[in-house]
A and B are shown apart, each in its own frame.
Chain A
Amino acid sequence: MSDHISRDEWIAFITSIDANTDLDDLLTHQEKADDFFDNFSKNLEKEIADSLEINLEPGYRIGKYALIEQIGKGGMAYVYLAKRADNLFEQQVAIKLLPPHNLTESHIVHFNKERELLANLNHPNIGKIFDGGITPDGIPYIVMEYIEGTPIDQYCSSKHLSIDQKIALIIKILGALQHVHNRFILHRDLKPANILITSEGDPKIVDFGIGQNIETEYSASESGTLRYMPPEVINQKRATTQSDLYQVGLILFELLNGTSPFISTNKDDLQKEKVNWQYNKPSAIISRRLNDILQKSLEIQVEKRYLSASEFAQDLVNYQTLHPTQASEADFLEQTILYVRRNKVAASLTVIILAVSLSSAITNQLQIQRTQKEKAKVEEANKFLKSIFLANNPNQTQLADLTARDLLNNSKLEIDKLEDTEVKAYALTQLGEIYSEIGLWKETKPIYEKALFIYLNSSESKDIDIANGYSNMAGYYRNVSQYEQADSAIDLCIELLKQSNDYPVALAFAYHTKGNIKYSLGQYEEGKDITKKSINLLEETISKGIAANQNYTEAPEAVLAMAYNYHSSNLRELSEYNEALEYAKKALEIGLEYQNSNIDILFIAQNNIALAYERLGLYQKQIEILSQQLTRKLEVYEVHNPSLMVTMTNLGSAYYKIENYKMSDSLSEIAYQTYLEKYGPTNQYTVSTLYNLGNSKLSQDKYKEANSYFEKVLDADMETLGNNHPYVAGDYVSLGNVQFYLQNWKEAEEYYQNAYAIYSKNFGEEHQKISYSNWLLGRLYWEMNQLQKSELHYQQAIEISKKVLGEDHILHKNYLAEYDSLFSKINQ
């Protein structure tokens, strides 16, 4: 039978209902009826669907809040705008609800877990969680910060942001993401709609709706938007932190290029395109270096992408600040060019803060794993975190520094919350070490003090913990140039460790620390003795094959290398240059071996070698090794790193020795400004560079400038080192030299005599400094026409220098030659 309805059929139908019906009238309804029912069914369907969605009325109370309106609706959750119901104060919040259709056990568990995880997030660029709970109807909810913002893509285009401004936003987002990842949470659905920019221009990451614990198995059907989905997720592989980074890379790509890199319009094609899409066509709009960064972040292979959000952010910062980026693998030439350029722009750089809250991760870990047995694991984890924080990208120092400062209060507060005192002290020590390693020495004091206080007052503390506390305090005092206090603290440490044979490496470490402190105090004999003690103990320990107690010290070889280094320093100051050189070379050997775990050993050894060469008058060799060091440090550190500055300072003074003042001055100037800013006017680093600058100006006959530098140096040295330190003597010499060249003989004489007195007090009569002081006086009295005095001093200079420097030493030869030329005529 066909679909056609015959007239007979109509008649049969209609008469069965009502015989009086007019068939022709009825037939006029046939077509209209089809349309009517089609439309009505559609409307009805929509009305049914709408009414089956949860629809909470304005005023509906959830906790302290009353709903205002629905502002978002997703498969997993609904979001409402709400305000405080008690009107106590104006506060608008967003309330996220698990909708009734998701009220299954697994959804509730997931939702509560998410609430718990998000509660741990506290970052200015992440929407905050205020509260959470379950409504009387059994609906779980989360109360969140309400963010009135514009999606990042709309914001960038409407505000016509520059490339740099866009990058700055992405850097902040990456900082927030690192914070998230540190807590083992992934976002999984980063896209412009989930990154809102507030009216103040701050980005806020929102909607962790599918953010899951990293450990949770990934399910493709529940994850985010296909357009931003990373290839591994499309391939049903587990999402990782790098998956989030891919999404950020894609957002950055779109912000910079104004368009998506994908061309497919339907779902299946887009999936295929995305899985095979390799970023390889550099965009003409953006520079090669930026393209390289995008390429790295958008690699198909997860392992080729950035390791972490901070690493990604760091490369963007490097790009902006004209530092070499990881993505571009800058060669030396490029590094050098960038180095020169960035110093010109350094002053105008925006300071960017990357918040990497490391300490709270440590604390959380400790809270989770309390038992002693687990502590070793925790410490391993912490070392790992520390290594990520510090070593992974040494260029990060400056950023980490700012971050650390910012987070100091938070971290301390978090640690204060800890109840277990031992764990608390441990966490404090860890925190202190991190601050110390990034050069935030002042900040370490209260932290170390508190830790030590806890250890001293706890019956459960072990000697090694207390000793470690003393050692840290000593380290702090040394770093801030308070050497007497440092010496007392390290003595307490040594006393304690000597009571048993359990910690030979820790004891040796304390010995070499003391040796270094003695060196700083100018007490080189004591320094030499105690560093030798350290060396003997370590060589013995290593030969016995005793491993270090890993929790408390580094590898014994690394400690030994530092003992060699400090020993070398003391020897040098005692004019034992060849031995100094020998020990420095031993340290260098170990330093090369350990450069991946502790590059400082290598750098300090290079310094000691360079200084020994300097004293031996081998300036070209000195410049050679310092240049090598500078090259390596430029690879490893950012420009403000104090260690990099040390090399600059030293190289500056080496150039000064060979009378290349232009090189010398520019290197010293950079170093001085950096130190001054970072450590203040009395810090040894600041003062040393100032001293070098003074010397350089002097050599260029710029007496006024030189004099003002030296006066500052003298003030600082007397303040931090006391009136009888050899450095103070050196300052008097310098000031005397200025007066000498100005032909103010009396003033010069006074300065020189002061210096002489200090040197002889410190070193006795057989020391290079004594021969030098004699030469200065000899030269001065010649000019003052006091020839007898002059000759006497010259002769002493020559005699002592022959003894301590040797006949071949350039200084000795100079003294001799000068004496001959001056006095040969007279004596004839």
Chain B
Amino acid sequence: MTTVFRNYSSSEALQSDRSSGDRLRHRQKVREAIRDNIADIVAEQSIIGRSRDTIIKVPLRGIKEYRFVYGDNSGRAGQGNGDSQPGQVVGRNQQEGEGIGKAGDRPGVDYYETDVTLEELVDMMFEDLELPDLERKALRETISHSATKRKGYRKVGIHVQLDKRRTVLSRIRRKVATGAESDETAERPEAGPPEGRARFPFIQGDLRFRRRTEDVDYESNAVVLCLMDTSGSMDTMKKYLARSFFFLLYQFVRTRYQHVELVFVAHDAEAREVSEEDFFHKGESGGTLISSAYAKALEIIDQRYHPSLWNVYAFHCSDGDNMSSDNPQALKLAAELCKTCNLFGYGEIKPHGGYHESDAMISVFRDLEAENFQAVRIGDKSDIWAGFKSFLTKDKATASPTD
């Protein structure tokens, strides 16, 4: 029997990160799993209205390693603490996600949460959307400032841009290259001034000019107009759904612009601009005149967010119980909003079931022919993500109600 000892070598240790490939693949799978579950995560109340550095725990379901395992209908044996008695409670029934699990035969081991910041999550969400068309059509950047800046050199130009130093340098270069320095007259019969030293003049090709290009600063301001029906029929649940939708819209717009402002317009029979707090929490009562909100929105845009400087996104959430006499007016103003906004959306929040086609605003908006208008119906939490996606894709063919 012999024994071999192999000593530690740090250079080998540095090279030996053999699990890196598998770790990378695992992380990719984690990311995929998060992306697959985004609809659920978005529906969780906890992320709405948080700051972007908030760390969210995302439960992962996609990357368990499934096997045939036993459930917990039977007892297990273990060691007690020395004087166990029947009936004694010795711990919690380990549910998924708790603790490290026992001895590797519990499936709970496989479940875990991962921490991501809201920022990452939002990036992932919109990465998933893959909307090249949207980028072109709906996102607009306006030129706010235009000037010129230096960018390299070129051989032609106007005289004020002549770069003397570089011109001289290029002449010297040429001179050395032709060998004129050592053998002055041999190759240059036209040269040979009386002083005895050959003249080596600047030629057109030596000249170097500074190049200037146009420098454009894009104004990337955007405003998200949140319009919400706060009439008596909008209960807390409906407001929560609306809030989720506004949150998504705001986060999305934020990923595309440096500066994003939010405007909240609440309306029942008449519209007011309100604070975020009031917007979501103050109940109103009374009838519903949707046109009032649109008029107010147009007014705000006109006064503060002119479309030539601002990218305007407007979204309106309502339960659709508009006074029928107001419908033509609302339709007219909606068409006008479509002209001023990059995107204008209407979300009808109607719990599944008690839905009547006839008195819904969404059917009125069928008549609205605009490229950048989209109406979605939201029945419950699960519709939010789907609705949001269809709002952005504006694919009229598939924009039928999402339930």
| Bind each other | no
Which B residues contact A (CB, under 8 angstroms)? none
Which A residues contact B (CB, under 8 angstroms)? none
